Amino acid sequence: MLPQLADVEAVCDAACALVRELLTQPLDSRNKADQSPVTAIDLAIDAFLHQKLRPLMPSAGWLSEETADQPDRLDNPWLWVVDPIDGTRSLIAGKPEFCVSIALVNSGIGPMLGVIGNPSTAERWSAERGHGARNQLGQLLRVREAIPNDYIDLLVSRSDARLGLWDDVAGNGAFRRVGSLAYKMALVAAGQCDGHATPTPRSEWDAAAGDLLISEAGGMTADAHGRPLRFNQPRPQFDGFVVASRAAFPTVLELARSASRRWQQLAQVAPGARRP
C-alpha cells in the first residue's frame, strides 16, 4: 500500500524547515570527486529524509544523490528517489532557487508520489499518480495550454548558460536562467513558463518528483533525444532533459537538439566543456 501523500508532504515541509534553521549557521561546503559542490546542509537533509521516509514504506529501496548507491535497489520494485538539496550551487550563492525533492517510484511504472519544496519561498508542489498535482494551497497545477505568438518562455540552467550552450541557438522567445531542475520542473507544471531543456546529463534524483508533477499537470518529459524517461536504471542518469507543455514540447525538443549540437562543438574545441 502506498504511503499517504500528506505524510510525504509533512516530511518535505519538515525538511524545508530544517534547511531554514541550518541556514542561520555558517555554511560549510566542499567539492565532491566529480567537482560538484556539497554542503553540510545537503548531508543533514539526506540523513533526515532517510530517517523519516523509510518508515513510511520500509520495503522500498533508496536512491539519493548524497548516499552511496546500493546495487540491490535494482531488484526492488519500489524505490525512494531523493535529492536532499537540488540546486546546491544556488544555495551556496544565496539564490532562492534550490529545492528538496522526494519521489516514490514503482520501477515498472514510474514515480507514484512526488513532492518538491522550496525552503526559501515556502512553496510546495506535490502529486499522486492519477490524482493530479497541486501547490501548497491545494490548487491544481496545469501547464500552459498554448504558445501565444509562438513566443517560447524557456528556462535554462545557469551552468549550461555559463558554458555558452545557448549561444547562437535560434529561437523566438526568452531564455531565462534559473537554478535547480526540480524547481524548473515545478514552475513548468504550474504554468509559469513553457518548458526547460538541457543537453547535459541529469540524474534520476533531479527529475523523479518533477516528472510526476509534469505528467499530472498535463505536460511531457523526455531525454534530449525525445526518449521516455525510465527510473531505477543501473546508471541512474538521463542523456539530457526536456520538459514542456504539450503545446511547446516539439519546439523545446528541437531547441534541446540545437543546444546539444553546440555542446558537441564546444567539446571538440575544449574537452572539459562536456562537464555540466
Indicate if 108 and 208 belong to the same structural domain. no
| CB neighbours of residue 29 within 10 Å | 14
Q: What's 46's domain CATH number?
A: 3.30.540.10
Put residue 252 in one of left, alpha, beta given phi > 0 → left and psi -120 to 50 → alpha.
Answer: alpha
Residue 275 has pLDDT above 70, yes or no: no
Q: pTM for this one?
A: 0.94
Indicate if 64 and 116 belong to the same structural domain. yes
Banded model confidence at residue 272, pLDDT cuts 50, 70, 90? low
Indicate if 33 and 119 belong to the same structural domain. yes
Banded model confidence at residue 123, pLDDT cuts 50, 70, 90? very high
pLDDT digits (tens, 9 = 90+) for 132-156: 999 999 999 999 998 877 789 999 9
| CB neighbours of residue 265 within 10 Å | 13
Indicate if 129 and 152 belong to the same structural domain. no
Structural domains in the chain (count):
2
Domain end: 106, 135, 164, which one? 135
Residue 269 has pLDDT above 70, yes or no: no
In a domain, 140, yes or no: no
pLDDT digits (tens, 9 = 90+) for 101-111: 999 999 989 99
Which of 13-27, 162-176, 213-227 shows the lowest mean pLDDT across its residues? Answer: 162-176
pLDDT digits (tens, 9 = 90+) for 209-229: 999 999 999 999 999 999 999
In a domain, 142, yes or no: no
Domain end: 135, 156, 171, which one? 135
Q: To the nearest 5 percent, what fractions of the chain are helix, strand and coil?
A: 35, 25, 35
In a domain, 109, yes or no: yes
pLDDT digits (tens, 9 = 90+) for 60-117: 999 999 999 999 999 999 999 999 999 999 999 999 999 999 999 999 899 999 999 9
Q: What is the mean pLDDT of residues 201-208?
A: 96
Which pLDDT score, from 0 to 100, does residue 245 have?
95
Is the CB of residue 121 less than 8 Å from the CB of residue 96? yes
Q: What's 236's domain CATH number?
A: 3.40.190.80
83: enclosing H helix or E strand? strand 78-86
The one-letter amino acid at 41: I
Which pLDDT score, from 0 to 100, does residue 170 have?
65
Neighbour-count burial for 188-212, b at 16+ CB within 10 Å, e otherwise: bbbbebbbbbbbbbbbbbbbbbbbb
Indicate if 9 and 129 belong to the same structural domain. yes
Banded model confidence at residue 46, pLDDT cuts 50, 70, 90? very high
Structural domain that includes position 153: 148-274
Domain end: 135, 169, 185, which one? 135
